[in-house]
Amino acid sequence: MHGIIFAGGKSTRMGRDKSMMFDNITRLKSVFFSCGIHDVIILCGHEDRKSLFEGVVVVDPQENMGLHRVLQWIRNEIQDDLVCVPCDAFTLSIEGLQTMLKHDSMGGVIVQHEEIQPTFCVVPKNWKPTTEVSSLTQFVSSLPPILVEDENIDFYNFNNQEDIKKFQEIIHAIQHEFLHSQSLK
């Protein structure tokens, strides 16, 4: 199984690059490692973003492909099951990722507040979408739902500064805990 971190977006609504906030890419890689996933790929989008990240960083094969096509492409390239998270999963915990991993054989997509969270998904290597799709939501919509409680903050979708303010204390506590754990290594 490979971990995938989506980090190629423009972050227009946030007003700044979400992939650079809170050193979250490093923290997410640590969450993957803690769950036994040591092959982690950062999908960075355009070539000019590749140098922003450390580790295995993959550039989209074409500009403006759409995330659904990039995900199909990377799965075909590596021929493995994928567990995917967005770079702005600022509140994703080890337990949250383990919730996703319980569905590794069948795959799944997080559903919270009765809405699909398409960037939080597990895509088995042999799974194929049921129809031709034009978005990531359509791509993952035929995966089994991974239902999570509305109160669960692991899979919160951070779109703007108001979302950050709403969870600022929690994000800082998570980041502090991560930095402390790194200093003990």
Residue 20 and residue 52 in contact, taking contact as beta carbons nearer than 8 Å: yes
* Cα 153 → chain centroid: 14
Q: Give 21-78 pLDDT, tens digit per residue.
A: 999 999 999 999 999 999 999 999 999 999 999 999 999 988 768 899 999 899 889 9
- pLDDT (tens digit per residue) in 83-140: 999 999 999 999 999 999 998 889 999 999 899 999 999 999 988 877 788 899 999 9
CATH of the domain at 134: 3.90.550.10
**Total domains in the fold of the chain:** 1
Domain holding 150, by residue range, is 2-183
Residue 58 and residue 42 in contact, taking contact as beta carbons nearer than 8 Å = yes
